[in-house]
Amino acid sequence: MSKTLVIAEKPSVAQDIVRALTPLAGKFDKHDDHFENERYVVTSAVGHLVEIQAPEQFDVKRGKWSFAHLPVIPPYFDLKPVDKTKSRLAAVVRQAKRKDVSELINACDAGREGELIFRLIEQYAGGAKPLGKPVRRLWLQSMTPQAIREGFESLRSEQQMAGLADAARSRSEADWLVGINGTRAMTAFNSQGGGFFLTTVGRVQTPTLSLVVEREEKIRKFISRDYWEIHASFGAEAGEYPAKWFDPKWKKGEDVERRADRVWSAAEATAIANAVRGQPATVTEESKPTTQASPLLFDLTSLQREANGKFGFSAKTTLALAQSLYERHKALTYPRTDSRALPEDYLPVARQTFEMLADSGMRHLAPHAQTALAGNYVRPSKRIFDNSKVSDHFAIIPTLQAPSGLSEAEQKLYDLVVRRFMAVFFPSAEYTVTTRITTVAPTLPAARGSLPPEGALPGLGRPGAGQVDQHHFKTEGKVLVKPGWLAIYGKEAADEVEGGQAGDKGQNLVPVKPGEVVRTEQADPKGLKTKPPARYSEATLLGAMESAGKQIDDDELREAMQEKGLGTPATRAAIIEGLLTEKYMLREGREIIPTAKAFQLMTLLRGLEVEELSRADLTGEWEYKLAQMEKGQLSREAFMQQIAAMTERMVKKAKEYDRDTIPGDYATLQSPCPNCGGVVKENYRRYACVGKPGADPCGFSFGKSPAGRTFETAEAEQLLRDKKIGPLEGFRSKAGWPFTSEIVIKYDDEAHNYKLEFDFGDAKAEETGELVEFADASLGPCPICGSEVHEHGSNYVCTRAVPTAAQPLPSCSFKSGKVILQQPVERAQMEKLLATGKTDLLDKFVSMRTRRAFKAHLAWDAEAGKVNFEFAPSKFPPRPGVAKKTIAASPGRASAGAQKGTKKPAAMKKPAAKKAATPRKPAAGKAPSAALAAVIGTEPVARPAAVKKLWEYIKAHNLQDPQDKRSIVADDKLRAVFGKDRAGMFELAGLLGPHLG
């Protein structure tokens, strides 16, 4: 009997489908990777299982990223499995290829990405020729059993989904073309002076970065202005109340800093205060009731913004916590959503959720749930239940499962979602808002004594026969009458009012009788300064990404982006983290600040006239055209031709730019040129001497981005002043590997000028015999010999590991890097390691092999005689059938003491076996050639061990170039191995290949 294969996007959805179909189609048997009965096979992806790539013959590897190989516009795209989910892909493909499976149902999420996920899996399963099995589409906006059953009764045809499928593929391929070609073109442009300067761009990441850079440019150009406010206190029969002067005739103009309550001269502010002080005043006021509804339910972006503002969680952290609450604890619904409403058939589920909360025993939440049930608050409302406002997923709400064993951070986020879920059903908060205007009409004698000469201050008017101009003062009060939904938040209530002001926190006003005359008890001018716009936090940047389309002038593009913004809720956190990882931005407290590299990229895009890459217009234009494609009004071929043309134009602009520099807003350094004392100015690529006034430049300059790391202006200033800086991290070798080094400016006798050099500092003293003097305090005893450990260059070393006056010949080997795998190791952490045997858990290590971040302690490994990694025990129990991983450091593990080149330890890798991990065999040794055997011996050896022995030979014979430690000068034996006189340190493994085997 033939069967139908149902492919969902997530395992949880597959389970929901099975539960909904069981009453109709019969009981399902559960297998490792699918459910099955006589009619259906139900399985699932876990998001994207397949991604596109250029076919091998059209792709260009990073070593050949040059204009000669651009643009890369393949005629078609190949597919490759996503590394993390290869086993899941194999399981889904296995079901799709079954002979008894005659039909597929696409049950991935109802949207463009869900369509793409399924289509790529189907294509991959077919291989060289199509799978050839009919496909129908399950379109769900609600996951209740009844909604799922109704969805199966009204499956859509493949023809109905053709437009959405075309739009999904086109968006994916267009992103690839722009991202790959843009990144490679800008990298090639920036690497023209040598080295490898990775410059990533993308349709979403670059406009996001542009928002941050433009805000920083406004802050830097902002000129603060002085202004004054006049604060007064008035006495009534019932007591005093405060007020602030304002001009009722004021109208908004072009100057955005002008306000009705601001005065722009100290003399005018003082004159107003003097004129009203001690004078009688009349009072008018207006009181009216107002209501404040609760904010809408959370989508991912609003949850990330709220958690960042309340708890300081990054967008990435919030997403990870929400995912844990969804996947592990089953306590929240699917978090990667852009909807803030629920499906219209979800009312019974909402009521059941309140019943769960009322009985949950959570003392801070249960009483409010009980109040809602007793008051029948859970009722139909278009504000909450609206199918038209539900996209691929509905809003984030608690599930029917009460969680237990949550971490502190998970509990905070869960409470945030639960309170918002309950609040949206509660009545609106009710206030009485009172606006009181106090008018002072100074008498002529009082006014004359306080005013400056007639005509000096036109804003005050001219003295008349009995009075001068009246002065108005405003007082606002907002009193909470019925808390409504705010009762759920208690003391935090005022903070829950979106856009709330100080008065929203409750300001009771003393009463004033009708017709009562009050007296101006005090009136004082208060000097203030205008402030620049605030830097973005993650919360405000997420909001700016979400609303990016609102700033677009074109009506059609703005409409296309109305529901989209930059990125999606699922990708925005990753976009921000990517910009931080690539050092385009950095976090400082809760502020996000663009780096010099970011400004350089924006200068480049503006100079090359490819600014569409940095504006949200590009996304708006794409969304507009993709929407047309979904409706069948634009062909996929026409859209992709436009993308190819745009890509070619972008590469051509970069390739043909023929000027020495790019126009920009560049700095002038304060420190003089070390060679001639002239002025040093910044241009696009360099900091260069322009000479003394009236004199020619001397030729001194240094690159702004040596080895792919861009100097901040302050760093360039320090380097020029002190002729050294560092050690700095973030440099990249020509092969793209990160490293850390000091930078020095040294005099070059041949060039008769100063030049910039890397100074690795490690072996300088050992090679030259120069004696080392330590100026810093001891960090603690050496774990090998007990002598003192100090800072030296880019390392922490034992005093007996380098030549000193007390001991010219080194006798100890202890050395550990100040930066290990991009993780800075602070003095306090090294002191802790020397005192206790290990550091705190450090979280910024980055694997050289996978480029992924990982956490570990640094610990002294006595058996190996070096610093190694030690990993914290996993808080998740191992899956059944998976062998327990070794955590402790071992002698065979890569040493953490190496400053660079260290691979992520084997303990961090996933076992390849499905049922039980088997020990990995060591690499087989190969016989060295005669030339190599003359250097390392004749025993068979694996390539890593051969490289290690080769380095021992190089160190023992002092074959590193003193001017460039990364360059090896070959002696007769090495010349036979290298086939040339010199070789770079990163070439060694490749050069040994032909000699092993």
Measured distance CA(938)–CA(996) in Å, rounded: 11
Strand boundaries in 59-159, DSSP class E: 78-81, 101-107, 135-137, 156-157
Tell me, yes or no, if 334 is annotated catalytic.
Answer: yes
Q: Residue 216: enclosing H or E segment and its boundaries?
A: helix 205-221
Nearest alpha-carbon partner for 394 in 303, 489, 299: 299
Task: Scan for tokens 């059609």, then name that residue.
Answer: 556
To the nearest 10 degrees (0 to 180), the angle between helices 205-221 and 596-607 is 100
Return the HEC string of 376-390. Answer: CCCCCCCCCECHHHC
Nearest alpha-carbon partner for 759 in 785, 731, 780: 731
Q: Chain centroid to CA 394: how far? A: 24
The answer to whether 817 and 740 are in contact (CB under 8 A) is yes
Tokens of 280: 């009688």
Strand partners, 232: 243, 523
Strand boundaries in 187-343, DSSP class E: 226-236, 239-246, 280-292
Measured distance CA(400)–CA(398) in Å, rounded: 7
Nearest alpha-carbon partner for 516 in 707, 284, 727, 740: 284
Catalytic residue among 40, 241, 334, 796: 334
351 — phi, psi (to 5°)?
-65, -40
Tokens of 363: 């003392």
Tokens of 573: 């956190």
Measured distance CA(599)–CA(613) in Å, rounded: 14
967 — phi, psi (to 5°)?
-110, 130
Q: Residue 858: enclosing H or E segment and its boundaries?
A: strand 853-861
Residue 494 CA: distances (Å) to CA of 311, 483, 997: 17, 10, 74
Measured distance CA(893)–CA(903) in Å, rounded: 9
428 — phi, psi (to 5°)?
-65, 150
Measured distance CA(230)–CA(228) in Å, rounded: 7
Q: Chain centroid to CA 890: how far? A: 35
The answer to whether 520 and 440 are in contact (CB under 8 A) is yes
Q: How many CA atoms, within 13 angstroms, populate the side-chain half-sphere of residue 823?
A: 30
Q: For residue 682, what is the DSSP state?
A: E
Q: Could you tell me the strand order of the sheet in which 679-682 lies?
A: 679-682, 686-691, 701-703
Strand boundaries in 862-905, DSSP class E: 866-870
Q: Which residues contact 655 (CB under 8 A, 6 or more apart)?
A: 67, 70, 185
Tokens of 237: 């029969």
DSSP 631-680: TTSS-HHHHHHHHHHHHHHHHHHHHT--SSS------B-SSPPTTT--EE
To the nearest 10 degrees (0 to 180), the angle between helices 572-581 and 205-221 is 60
Measured distance CA(634)–CA(292) in Å, rounded: 45
Measured distance CA(922)–CA(906) in Å, rounded: 12
The answer to whether 143 and 349 are in contact (CB under 8 A) is no
Tokens of 989: 């493994």
Tokens of 836: 């206790």
The answer to whether 117 and 108 are in contact (CB under 8 A) is yes
Q: Which residues are catalytic?
A: 334
